[in-house]
């Protein structure tokens, strides 16, 4: 399968960083420089490295992948205070990245919190998004409705705990360090299993989030959740869209995925994989095939 012809002109220079709101964001730009860009937005508690098992499959099909290290995660993009992490600011970052790539819309993929940002970007800036593939987290309004019509509120009760100051940081940091290389191997295995991460992912989170000092800033994404623009929360997406959910996701109830079709006016598909919440790492080949099926239909 060959990548579709870009509808615009994109920079042929590697993009290693971009600037927005006087913040500098790191970027992992890989694959053929003349390929159609696919922008990949990571979630919590991960960075752009979460896509490393997936991107080779996209490169083989001729696509170029652009994975930013998002606000709070990039060392040069860690503003203080939860207001700086409201959805409009996160959409602004994605908009700045796409604009830095050149003249033309991109294929947009997001997982977890990255999916939430991708939904908002596709709704608010349809001119910048050719197709959308959301992974694990459904449309924001579908998620909100699932809170009162399924087990979703129970599955995400930790979000309320994350509103507390400093306590979540202390507990999470202590847990990761106790289960780190200098800790007890048995505890490390149990902690990884409890989170659904494999041991490589667990170590990467400890290194990239806890040890790097990004944790407090990453938690600000949750602390900014009460700052909601209700006029935009229910906006529908016109881009061709695929939502990907999984059978063993302990964080997401099925109901949100079932409701998501109501918030897409363009072509829509829902794919279900046998996986935990961490689909990009656990099922990279299958997820890549789903992304390619969606992007290939947009040319």
Q: Is the pLDDT of residue 2 over 50?
A: no
Q: Per residue in 125-136, pLDDT tens?
A: 999 999 999 999
> Which CATH number belongs to the domain containing residue 103 in this structure?
3.40.50.1820
Does residue 13 lie in a domain region? yes
Residue 100 to residue 236: CA distance in whole angstroms = 25
| Residues labelled as active-site residues | 112, 222, 277
Does residue 169 lie in a domain region? no
Mean pLDDT across the stretch 14-31?
Answer: 98
Q: Is the pLDDT of residue 299 over 50?
A: no
**Cβ contact 141:234 at 8 Å:** yes
As a whole-number percent, the residues of the chain with pLDDT over 90 amount to 82
Q: Is the pLDDT of residue 50 over 90?
A: yes
Residue 213 to residue 193: CA distance in whole angstroms = 24
- Mean pLDDT taken over the chain: 92
Does residue 22 lie in a domain region? yes
Q: Which domain holds residue 235?
A: 9-151+229-296
Q: Is the pLDDT of residue 6 over 60?
A: no
Domain count, the chain: 1
Mean pLDDT across the stretch 139-145?
Answer: 96
> Element (H or E) spanning 255, and its range?
helix 254-259
Does residue 189 lie in a domain region? no
Mean pLDDT across the stretch 11-34?
Answer: 96
Residue 180 to residue 153: CA distance in whole angstroms = 31
pLDDT tier at 1, thresholds 50, 70, 90: very low
Torsion from C-alpha of 119, 29, 208, 136, nearest 10 degrees: 30
Does residue 253 lie in a domain region? yes
Does residue 23 lie in a domain region? yes
Q: Per residue in 158-200, pLDDT tens?
A: 999 999 999 999 999 988 877 766 556 666 666 666 667 888 8
Q: Per residue in 257-289, pLDDT tens?
A: 999 999 999 999 999 999 999 999 999 999 999
Q: What would you report as the CA-atom Rg of the chain, rounded to the nearest whole angstrom?
A: 18
**pLDDT score at 187:** 61
Q: Is the pLDDT of residue 231 over 80?
A: no
Residues 6+ apart with CB under 8 A from 267: 240, 241, 297
Does residue 146 lie in a domain region? yes
Does residue 264 lie in a domain region? yes
Q: Per residue in 97-118, pLDDT tens?
A: 999 999 889 999 999 999 999 9
Residue 293 to residue 283: CA distance in whole angstroms = 16
């Amino acid at each position: 399968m060959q990548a579709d012809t870009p509808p615009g002109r994109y920079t042929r220079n590697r993009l290693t960083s971009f600037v927005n709101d006087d913040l500098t964001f790191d970027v992992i730009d890989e694959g053929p420089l003349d390929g159609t860009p696919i922008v990949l937005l990571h979630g919590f508690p991960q960075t752009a490295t979460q896509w490393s098992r997936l991107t080779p499959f996209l490169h083989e099909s001729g696509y170029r992948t652009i994975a930013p290290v998002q606000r709070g995660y990039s060392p040069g993009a860690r503003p203080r205070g939860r207001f700086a992490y409201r959805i409009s600011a996160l959409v602004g970052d994605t908009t700045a990245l796409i604009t830095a790539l050149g003249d033309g819309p991109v294929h947009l993929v997001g997982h977890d919190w990255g999916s939430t940002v991708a939904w908002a970007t596709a709704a608010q800036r349809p001119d910048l998004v050719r197709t959308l593939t959301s992974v694990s987290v459904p449309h924001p309004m579908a998620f909100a409705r699932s809170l009162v019509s399924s087990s979703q509120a129970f599955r995400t009760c930790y979000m309320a705990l994350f509103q507390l100051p400093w306590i979540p940081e202390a507990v999470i940091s202590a847990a990761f360090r106790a289960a780190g290389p200098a800790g007890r191997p048995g505890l490390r295995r149990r902690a990884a299993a409890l989170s659904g991460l494999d041991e490589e992912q667990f170590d990467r989170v400890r290194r990239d989030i806890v040890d790097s000092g990004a944790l407090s800033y990453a938690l600000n994404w949750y602390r900014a959740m009460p700052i909601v623009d209700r006029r935009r929360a229910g906006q529908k997406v016109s881009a061709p869209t695929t939502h990907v959910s999984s059978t063993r996701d302990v964080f997401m109830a099925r109901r949100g995925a079932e409701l998501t079709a109501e918030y897409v006016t363009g072509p829509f598909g829902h794919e279900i994989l046998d996986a935990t919440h961490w689909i990009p790492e656990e099922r990279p080949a299958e997820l890549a095939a789903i992304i390619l099926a969606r992007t290939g239909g947009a040319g």
